[in-house]
């Protein structure tokens, strides 16, 4: 059994959220220092707090594959959707092989912890073990959009369902961030490729990362001008599990993709002003060494940002939006 699996075995059987040091050594079959024990668990996203000869860790709401599958099975044609729920992997976006993806209409991978989770650009998206909702959906679309348009389309669907579930004031920051009252809740990344110019279908990869319960581990998140928050901090209704939200989100995105075309995208984009956290506000766009300032006027039918720069409307397709 790998070291990571041994560490998870220790976590899974300690329901009082406390581990004795000798228990770690016994499971690993060797003597280690307290610093080494803490470093080992940190490597899989679990923070230990030492208390004498023991360590405490935060409660983890583990993903339940069966609960997620029940939601996905509510989708028509669900037998053509494959689901994986993994413990520790490099990234959900590269879990399935091309051969696996070709066999199904959609392939969905969730993970408790990603060692090489991807954020925007060259950023890493690293959230503590079991603290987030991290998944990727692979599949094929008959209609060619831009990754930008597809990302915004999925973002609108995600914010819509989160608001329905009672997560009020969740919004979007162009092009792919989820916010709550100015704080970073999550993000969406999309890739869209075709094998040839004559291809009728376009392969897509949609990655979603949403903070569920970060606890005291906020510092391990991606550094951002917008400080992080999580779903549990903004929710004051009846408890809803991480698995339940995960299944609902996956179901919502797939159902949106099933009806995705030019018309459905344009119809979806009509709700952008309602969901845009910075609509009609003065903003700045940074793209490499280029910096533009102006008023956020919304998006066009491709998802490009419309920036009013001294009375001239410019279309922005790339860049980092800041206030």
Query: What local confidence, expressed as pLDDT, does residue 47 receive?
Result: 87
H-helix segments, 103-232: 147-164
Query: What local confidence, expressed as pLDDT, does residue 299 receive?
Result: 96
Contact yes or no for 206/136 (Cβ under 8 A): yes
Query: What local confidence, expressed as pLDDT, does residue 321 receive?
Result: 87
Q: What is the pLDDT of residues 100-125, one digit of tens each?
A: 999 999 999 999 988 876 555 445 55
Contact yes or no for 222/128 (Cβ under 8 A): no
Q: What is the CA 18 to chain-centroid distance, rounded?
A: 29
Query: What local confidence, expressed as pLDDT, does residue 199 receive?
Result: 64
pLDDT means per 10 residues, the chain with 323 residues, are 86 83 93 94 88 89 95 96 93 91 95 73 64 94 85 97 94 95 93 69 92 70 67 86 97 96 93 96 87 94 94 91 81
- In this prediction the pTM is 0.89
Query: What local confidence, expressed as pLDDT, does residue 226 receive?
Result: 65
Query: What local confidence, expressed as pLDDT, does residue 236 receive?
Result: 79
Q: What is the pLDDT of residues 152-171, one digit of tens each?
A: 999 999 999 999 999 999 99
Query: What local confidence, expressed as pLDDT, does residue 78 receive?
Result: 95
Preceding peptide of 271 cis, ω within 30°: no
Alpha-carbon span 323 to 222, nearest angstrom: 18
Collapsed DSSP state (helix, strand, coil) of residue 98: helix
Alpha-carbon span 266 to 130, nearest angstrom: 36
Query: What local confidence, expressed as pLDDT, does residue 317 receive?
Result: 92
Alpha-carbon span 132 to 222, nearest angstrom: 13
């Amino acid at each position: 059994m790998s070291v990571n699996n041994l560490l998870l075995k220790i976590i899974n059987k300690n329901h009082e959220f406390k581990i004795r040091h000798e228990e770690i050594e016994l499971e690993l079959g060797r003597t280690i220092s307290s610093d080494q024990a803490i470093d080992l668990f940190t490597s899989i996203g679990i923070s230990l707090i030492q208390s004498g000869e023991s360590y405490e860790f935060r409660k983890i709401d583990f993903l339940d594959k069966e609960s997620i599958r029940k939601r996905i099975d509510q989708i028509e044609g669900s037998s053509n959707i494959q689901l994986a729920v993994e413990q520790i992997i490099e990234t959900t976006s590269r879990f399935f092989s091309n051969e696996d993806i070709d066999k199904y209409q959609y392939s969905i991978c969730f993970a408790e912890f990603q060692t090489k989770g991807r954020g925007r650009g060259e950023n890493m998206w690293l959230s503590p073990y079991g603290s987030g909702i991290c998944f990727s959906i692979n599949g094929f679309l008959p209609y060619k959009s831009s990754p930008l348009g597809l990302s915004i389309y999925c973002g609108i669907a995600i914010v819509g369902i989160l608001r329905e579930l009672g997560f009020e004031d969740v919004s979007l920051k162009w092009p792919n961030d989820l916010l709550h009252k100015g704080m970073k809740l999550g993000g969406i990344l999309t890739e869209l490729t075709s094998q040839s110019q004559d291809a009728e279908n376009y392969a897509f990869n949609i990655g979603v990362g949403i903070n569920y319960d970060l606890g005291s581990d906020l510092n391990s998140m991606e550094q951002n001008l917008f400080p992080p928050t999580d779903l549990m901090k903004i929710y004051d209704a009846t408890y809803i599990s991480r698995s339940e939200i995960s299944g609902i989100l996956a179901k919502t995105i797939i159902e949106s993709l099933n009806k995705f075309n030019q018309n459905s995208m344009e119809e979806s984009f009509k709700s952008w002003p309602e969901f845009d956290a910075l609509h009609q506000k003065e903003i700045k766009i940074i793209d490499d060494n280029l910096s533009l300032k102006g008023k956020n006027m919304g998006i066009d039918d491709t998802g490009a940002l419309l920036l009013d720069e001294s009375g001239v409307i410019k279309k922005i397709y790339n860049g980092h939006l800041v206030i």
